[in-house]
Structure formats: C-alpha cells, structure tokens
C-alpha cells in the first residue's frame, strides 16, 4: 500500500484474532458491538476490557463527599457516572495512523512516530490497513434506514488520566474518551445509534482495492518513509500480503 500524505489522517488499521474476520471486513462487513460488550469482554491479557468505557463523569475521592439520609461519607476511591442509554450504542474501533506534526522532514523521526506499539499484537495477529479517506466516504454513503440506524458519529478518541481528571464530559463526547492505559491503541471510532438490539452488521461494499492484509507483526517491518524533491512525505507499507 502506498499513501502520499495529503491530510492529517491517512490510514486506519483494524486488528483481528482470526483470518476469517479480516476477510469479512475486506468484503465490507462492519461488525459493531454494543458498548456494554466492551465493558465486560476480556482477552487473555485484558487489553480489550475497560470498566471505564463510556463514563460521562469521573470524580476524585478527595474532592467528593456522599450524603445519605443526612449522613456524610467520604468516598474511598474516585467515583464514576455513566448513562444506561449509552450502553445500547454500537461501537466500531480502528487504530488511527496520523501524519506526525512538528517533525522537520526527518525520515527516521517520522517513521518512529508511525510505528505501532508491540502491544497491538495482543489485539489480534492479523491486520488490515485501509486508506482513511475512501473508507470514511463509504461509511458516509451508507443508507441509514436500511440498517435501522438513526445516527453515526465518528472521531478520534481522547485519552485521560482517571487518577487526575475530575469533572464531566460533554454529552456528545462521552463515548469518545478512554483512560490513558489504552493510549497506545490510538483509537478512532464510530458511535452508532441504532434500533438494533444486538451486534450491528453494517455492509459498505468491498474495500479490497484500498486495503493491505497482513500479519500484525509485519506492519513495522514493512513501513517505508520517503521525502520527495518537493518536500512531500510518502508513506508505504511494503508487506507480504495474505491472499
């Protein structure tokens, strides 16, 4: 895959535990689980489970008191609040590849900032790299009523320190926040408000022509960065693809 940088976000990566799931994604099937799934699911190392997923407020214990029937109690740990209705939203997650800012066309520096964390291998041993612009255009073209979808919101996830942040998130941004532990996942997500009461399967058509399918362990090995005579960066993934 070759991408000439022309905007901030140039590609996404989707990780999969099984080759079958990756192939279905390439065919254009987007599986979006309910938020409640991500609050409970746990992989072998717990990299997927997040009990703080979807909270709308986080209060530090030293700044909060709890009053019940006229008695005041000091909280032991920080307190979180969440909205039940958010648990029924469908979520689809991607790893985001963003062109680094503040680098002086230093190829080594650019490459280092684009390399994925080794922890990403725990998200799945297979990976699909997809060009961002074309993928998002396919999402925007979806006929919402066909899939019983009311609204799709898209955006980058913000990471915060749950031991320091004290306050609440804006209602429309609460599902785009995660604790700093997961910052290495560099997540971009779709938040889907639908009338489907289980996992949502969104069909956007084949994306084979804008993807590279490989093993996760080979992504960093295949990353190539060059700068042409006009000072434009070019990102390439010269990876042995899985057919």
Question: Do residues 232 and 4 lie in contact, with contact meaning Cβ atoms separated by under 8 Å?
Answer: yes
Could you tell me which residues come within 8 angstroms of residue 170 by beta carbon, excluding any fewer than 6 positions away?
none
Helix intervals (H) in the chain: 19-26, 35-40, 107-114, 132-140, 219-222
Residue 4 is encoded by which pair of tokens?
A: 């000439």
Give the pLDDT of the chain (243 residues) as one tens digit per residue: 444 444 589 999 999 999 999 999 999 999 999 887 776 664 444 455 677 776 767 666 666 666 667 776 666 566 766 676 667 789 999 999 988 765 566 788 888 889 999 999 999 999 999 999 999 999 999 999 999 999 999 999 999 887 776 767 776 788 898 888 999 999 999 999 999 888 999 999 999 999 999 999 999 999 998 877 666 778 888 898 887
Residue 185 is encoded by which pair of tokens?
A: 């996942």
The whole-number pLDDT of residue 26 equals: 97
The whole-number pLDDT of residue 40 equals: 67
Torsion over CA: 40, 84, 158, 149 (sign): positive
Question: Do residues 97 and 110 lie in contact, with contact meaning Cβ atoms separated by under 8 Å?
Answer: no
Helix intervals (H) in 127-178: 132-140
Question: Do residues 28 and 206 lie in contact, with contact meaning Cβ atoms separated by under 8 Å?
Answer: yes
The whole-number pLDDT of residue 109 equals: 84
**Rounded Cα–Cα distance for residues 226 and 139 (Å):** 30
Cβ-based neighbour number of residue 235 at 10 Å:
20
**Rounded Cα–Cα distance for residues 11 and 132 (Å):** 4
Residue 73 is encoded by which pair of tokens?
A: 């109690």
The whole-number pLDDT of residue 191 equals: 93
User: Pick from 48, 78, 86: which is nearest to 162 by CA?
Assistant: 78
The whole-number pLDDT of residue 4 equals: 44
The whole-number pLDDT of residue 193 equals: 92
């Amino acid at each position: 895959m070759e991408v000439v940088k022309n905007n901030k976000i140039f590609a996404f990566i989707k990780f999969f535990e099984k080759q079958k799931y990756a192939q279905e994604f390439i065919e254009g099937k987007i599986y979006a689980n309910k938020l409640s799934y991500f609050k409970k699911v746990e992989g072998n190392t717990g990299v997927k489970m997040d009990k703080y997923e979807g909270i709308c407020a986080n209060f530090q214990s030293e700044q909060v008191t709890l009053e019940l029937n006229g008695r005041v109690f000091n909280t032991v740990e920080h307190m979180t609040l969440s909205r039940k209705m958010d648990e029924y939203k469908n979520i689809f997650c991607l790893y985001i590849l963003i062109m680094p800012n503040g680098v002086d066309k230093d190829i080594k520096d650019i490459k280092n900032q684009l390399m994925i964390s080794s922890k990403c291998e725990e998200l799945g041993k297979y990976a699909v790299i997809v060009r961002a612009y074309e993928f998002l255009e396919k999402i925007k073209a979806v006929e919402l009523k066909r899939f019983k979808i009311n609204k799709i919101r898209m955006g980058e996830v913000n990471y915060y320190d749950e031991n320091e942040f004290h306050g609440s998130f804006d209602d429309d941004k609460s599902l785009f926040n995660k604790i700093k532990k997961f910052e290495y996942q560099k997540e971009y997500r779709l938040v889907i408000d639908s009338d489907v009461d289980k996992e949502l399967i969104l069909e956007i058509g084949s994306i084979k022509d804008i993807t590279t399918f490989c093993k996760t362990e080979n992504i960093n090995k295949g990353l190539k960065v060059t700068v042409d005579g006009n000072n434009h960066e070019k990102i390439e993934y010269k990876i042995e693809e899985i057919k």
